[in-house]
A and B are shown apart, each in its own frame.
Chain A
């Protein structure tokens, strides 16, 4: 009975302390939503077209008017000029005035007619690996379109060439010869969510983890530096009661903030919520539990508020990189993937995205993983706290 009272006293104390700081409350409740709102309204989800110069040698049998390239299917690339001056084009690339320079060989059509391949060079000036990959992908798309155009023009130019391709080829339109297959994209996902929906849910998981880690870590470090930990050492309170009280208090606060954020996400930003609310609540509870465990461990190993803040920010940075929030986890090497799965938010993002946008959990093991992470971190923090509460 007394134990329960002690836990409830801790819960009440923590909640009152947080609520007594209006600035903290505002940033806690409105902060995550504002971030999501800015993200939702500010991010259109489409990359700027890559500004491209096509270097076309004199005499090449291809269009010299940039507008003619707009008719190609190469989305994401905008040909702003066609020139024969490769040096001038490369100078613009060096000065980052353009993103890509595509150098088309002089003899492309003739080479095709002779059954040979010609080199088509794509030049970029990019240090951002993500952007470089994207530009390469886009350039390859353009290259495929240029190839097809060369092919089409070749087919138009010589019926005899078409006859060589097949007996009935003369009756086949040049477009079909140039592009015998047409890609049709089929997506098995129940909906095609807007960018804000996809990243909004992920941002919710990230914000909840960061909030839980930071609040709890600072709470205990502050008590240690103020001397309040001495009060706990001397009073008849056990480490178990302390851990339970802290986790319940910040779990309730986190839960309230999560509920408000989800309501705003669904109500104002129009994020679909296809999954059962109870399963979403369970996932959020597990995410908060694991994050609070992480916060407790950080608080115990930190010897100052500054270190706790630094470790919380490092956790946030690691979460941004490795959780699948920005980059896909399967793009990392196996050891890094394993480390990524140790972060609560890695599972939180995937589970919440599945629940909100697919209506079900694709990988139920992630719920178990989140539970295990929460249990291990809370047990570890309990052991560390017990040790800290012993005489120094």
Chain B
């Protein structure tokens, strides 16, 4: 996955923005956003509500014109998308925009036809996406009578039905139960592995684990843009190692060991150390503890939760942590690595 993403990154970006800015009556919703999204990667745009995620997405789709800056999507400006380029974009908006009086299948068929799928392919693809997202049993139910989760899946089905090269999904997992959330991410990963590029906004910071690149957006600005691992490192200043010794140990003895930073005693037999690379630090740790008269029982890397990471990033970015930025997906709380 990482290799394919790395290979893809060497190609021309699918989306590129430069100084992207949008104002509404003097209020700047999005300011100076520079992004590049390589083919076959998933970019997660993470930020609290009102941070400018949807405005950015709408500019990428051509629904909204930027006040300033440049955008290139699939090599074209969204202001003047050709029909061919439009046909390569799959868009799932934040709110339900489909037709409540049409059945699930009719909605998918309608969108498929808008995207130019003719009769037989349309039928085949409609069925495929409905089955894929578990909607086939309710295919003949009117969209207005579907549950909230089914409606989100239906919108995703409509975004996928024409097999787009670029998926733009605005909070696809909002209000969706954990099982369905997993299904949606699995499908997005599967599509990414077939070369589809995806830009996905989310308020759930823990979902940053699911993407290849994360852009943290707050107050209309991108305050961090990196891989999830890169973000973790940059937010915390390195990797945190938790050490347990067989007996009582005074961790202050390690304060002067080169490469060990922020040594913090957490118990009579436990302490934490910030290092550049947890894997490389293990041997030095064992030696240093032994030299200081202790003996290591276990060493493990502590992975801070993305809540902590984003809190750190937002604070570094000069803003307070908005309440909904700390929202987490219920199924993805623990991010601790196992004992090494």
Contacts and interface: CB of A to CB of B under 8 A. Distances in A.
Interface of A: 1-2, 5-6, 8-9, 12-13, 16-17, 20-21, 226-228, 230-238, 390-392
B63 A233 contact: yes
A233 B61 contact: yes
Q: Is the interface of A mostly helix, strand, loop or mixed?
A: helix
Contacts of A228: 97-99
B97 A391 contact: no
Contact of A230 (B63, B99, B106): B63
B87 A392 contact: no
Nearest to B116: A2
Contact of B86 (A8, A21, A234): A234
22 contacts: A2-B118, A5-B118, A8-B113, A9-B113, A12-B110, A13-B102, A16-B101, A16-B106, A17-B99, A17-B102, A21-B101, A227-B93, A227-B96, A228-B97, A230-B91, A231-B93, A234-B63, A236-B86, A236-B115, A238-B83, A390-B79, A391-B62
A20 to B, nearest CB: 4
B61 A234 contact: yes
Interface of B: 58-59, 61-65, 78-79, 83-84, 86-87, 89, 91, 93, 95-99, 101-102, 106, 109-111, 113-116, 118, 142
Given A230-B63, A391-B59, A391-B65, 13 more contacts: A1-B118, A6-B113, A9-B109, A20-B101, A230-B97, A231-B111, A231-B114, A233-B62, A234-B89, A236-B83, A238-B83, A390-B79, A392-B65
Contacts of A20: 101-102, 142
Given A230-B63, A391-B64, A235 B102 contact: no
A230 B89 CA distance: 13
A237 B87 CA distance: 9
A9 B110 contact: yes
A146 to B, nearest CB: 67
A5 B87 CA distance: 15
Contacts of A6: 113-114, 116
A77 B115 CA distance: 71
A6 B111 CA distance: 9
Nearest to B65: A391
A1 B113 CA distance: 11
A8 B112 CA distance: 13
A235 B61 contact: no
Contacts of B98: 228
Looking at B86, B91, B99, B115, the one whose CB has the most chain A CB atoms below 10 A away is: B99
B181 to A, nearest CB: 23
Contacts of B59: 391
Given A13-B99, A235-B111, A391 B63 contact: yes
A231 B102 CA distance: 16
Contacts of B95: 227
B225 to A, nearest CB: 24
A5 B97 contact: no
B112 to A, nearest CB: 9
A9 B102 CA distance: 12
A328 B95 CA distance: 51
A390 B63 CA distance: 7
**Shortest beta-carbon contacts, A-B, top 9:** A9-B113, A227-B97, A391-B65, A236-B83, A236-B86, A20-B101, A2-B116, A235-B114, A17-B101
B87 A236 contact: yes
B76 to A, nearest CB: 13
A392 B63 contact: yes
A154 to B, nearest CB: 79
Contacts of B101: 16-17, 20-21
A234 B110 contact: no
Contacts of B99: 13, 17, 228
Given A16-B106, A230-B93, A235 B64 contact: no
Contacts of A8: 113
Contacts of A2: 116, 118
Contact of B114 (A17, A227, A236, A392): A236
A299 B63 CA distance: 19
Given A233-B62, A236-B86, A5 B91 contact: no
Contacts of B97: 226-228, 230-231
B78 A391 contact: yes
A309 to B, nearest CB: 19
Contact of A234 (B65, B84, B91, B96): B91
Contacts of B110: 9, 12-13
Nearest to B122: A5
B158 to A, nearest CB: 8
Contacts of B83: 236, 238
A93 B180 CA distance: 79
A361 to B, nearest CB: 40
A79 to B, nearest CB: 62
A327 to B, nearest CB: 40
A311 B79 CA distance: 32
A233 B58 CA distance: 10
Nearest to A391: B65
A233 B93 CA distance: 12
A222 B283 CA distance: 66
A392 B64 contact: yes
B64 A237 contact: no
B88 to A, nearest CB: 9
A17 to B, nearest CB: 5
Looking at A12, A230, A390, the one whose CB has the most chain B CB atoms below 10 A away is: A230
A182 to B, nearest CB: 66
Given A17-B99, A228-B98, A234 B62 contact: yes
A236 B61 contact: no
A247 to B, nearest CB: 17
Looking at B59, B64, B84, B97, the one whose CB has the most chain A CB atoms below 10 A away is: B97
Contact of B113 (A5, A16, A234): A5
B63 A9 contact: no
